[in-house]
Amino acid sequence: MEEVTDFAFREMFARYSGNGQQGTGNGFVMFTEFINTDGLTHPEGYKKLAIDLKYSENQRPIVAQIWGNRPEKFLQAAKIAADLGFDGVDINMGCPQQKEIGLGACAALIRQPKLAQEIILATKEGAVSAGRRMPVSVKTRLGYSKSGEMAGWVENLLSCGIAALTLHARTKQEMSKVPANWEKIKEAVEIRNQATGNRQQEGRTLIIGNGDIKSREEGLKRIQETGCDGVMVARGAFGHPWFFRNDGYQLGAKERLRVMLEHAELFNQELGQYKSFVIMRKHFKAYCSGFSGAHELRAKLMETKSFEETKSIVAEYLKTA
């Protein structure tokens, strides 16, 4: 997610949902913001985008997410990700925003299956460094305008031997305006199973479902219902760095605000010289909900422009909380 899954956001999940042991890996996989391959492979563009590839050992396994429409640029971008030590590279073929669609990228590739295959194969070729081959995955949607497009589209992607296919359970046209259609995730699993016969997990493409997951428990339920290999969580994890814990961990209002300030401070320290602090407002909106006075506090925080200002507003609220 652009301007969401940056270094600070991921680090908070590593701290509150992870195992707390540097370099040993979490029980979940984290993805970078999606990064344009044309920009990443240009010397000047790389200087600007390199910060989006920043990660810590705490965040492993960590996957670099890239987008574009030129196979040769995907090869180069995958090589960069491999050399930087990422654990995998993911191709975004699902973003429905008009900017990306207008460039013939992301969800627009659903209508260009041959080009999509060329991009995957080029990415796989580039995803090698020092003899180490990174897994290549794809994130996409059920179809462009109709969910009936899914079967042919999924078969097209599976034929490329990708490590994982994340399927957002809506079409490009549906954006996020309708409920996610998880029956289609089940159908995708069946298509995969038919294509691989009796082969078990090893060597077959993992199917990851995505759409409207609001809790860890709901994610596990969806896995059981559809037979998919896992779920991807996006908006449901906003303001909940402890989302992936399995012990029912919850925080009261004061603790939530403490974690929010920790997140804001980390953003300020690690990214403040590269990105506007205003980006944090979308996180403030998520953290400040479900407790007395949250609406009023949120309104004030949505005007803040610095960490010091944020800290002052929260301190004032806590005096009367």
pLDDT tens per residue across span 224-244: 999 999 999 998 999 999 999
pLDDT of residue 24: 59
Rounded CA separation 125/79 (Å) = 8
pLDDT in tens, 108-147: 999 999 999 999 999 999 999 878 999 999 999 999 999 8
Please, what is the average pLDDT of the chain?
93
pLDDT in tens, 250-267: 888 999 999 999 999 999
pLDDT of residue 201: 62
User: What percent of the chain has a predicted confidence (pLDDT) above 70?
Assistant: 95
pLDDT of residue 22: 54
Ranges of CATH 3.20.20.70 domains, the chain: 7-237
Which residue among 95, 106, 160, 228 is the active-site one?
Answer: 95
Does residue 160 carry a catalytic annotation? Answer: no
Rounded CA separation 156/217 (Å) = 32
Which one is predicted more confidently, 25 or 187? 187
- For residue 279 the two structure tokens come to 């980006």
Q: What CATH architecture applies to the domain 7-237? A: Alpha-Beta Barrel (3.20)
pLDDT in tens, 2-14: 788 999 999 999 9
**Measured CA angle at 231 (ends 230, 237), to 5 deg:** 140
DSSP secondary structure letter of residue 258: H
Rounded CA separation 106/306 (Å) = 33
β-strand 128-129 against 132-133: which pairing, if any? Answer: antiparallel
Mean pLDDT of 175-193: 95
